[in-house]
Amino acid sequence: MSKPIASYSPFRRAGNTVYCSGQIPLLPETGDLLHGTITEEVHQAIDNLDAVLRAADSSLERVIKTTVFMIDPRDYTEMDSAYRARFGDPLPAREAVFVAGLPKQARVEISAIACD
């Protein structure tokens, strides 16, 4: 799990619910931002989210809701395909929000809520 890049907790637990801060495609070995295809970046962001969930004694399988932040609407279809490859049915509830910018100039950020 990468070290947070600002003043926030990677996750907070409230009872059986885990709230995960947004994850961008940082490479855990170096902390550098991955610059690849949107598919590669989505997979890295979800890998980072998975590491945060594991640190909270949870997992991707327990995710009930996500928010995906993106800077380019043209990346939506490719993001959706990469996202679907990582989450099983039933898929988590989700919003996809287009924003002017993200930390470290990332193209995608994903946050999640999981229930045990």
Task: Say what the pLDDT of residue 2 is.
Answer: 64
Domains parsed from the chain with CATH numbers: 11-115 (3.30.1330.40)
* Burial (CB count <10 Å: 0-12, 13-18, 19+), residue 57: exposed
Task: Say what the pLDDT of residue 3 is.
Answer: 65
* Burial (CB count <10 Å: 0-12, 13-18, 19+), residue 87: middle
Closest among 68, 58, 61 to 19, alpha carbons compared: 58
- Compute how many other C-beta atoms are within 10 angstroms of the C-beta atom of residue 73: 9
In the numeric block, which tokens belong to residue 13?
């637990």
CA dist 6 → 32, 100, 113 (Å):
14, 19, 20
pLDDT mean over 42-68? 98
Summarised one tens digit per residue, pLDDT across range 63-115 is 999 999 999 999 999 999 999 999 989 999 999 999 999 999 999 999 999 99
**pLDDT tier, 31 (very low <50, low <70, confident <90, very high otherwise):** very high
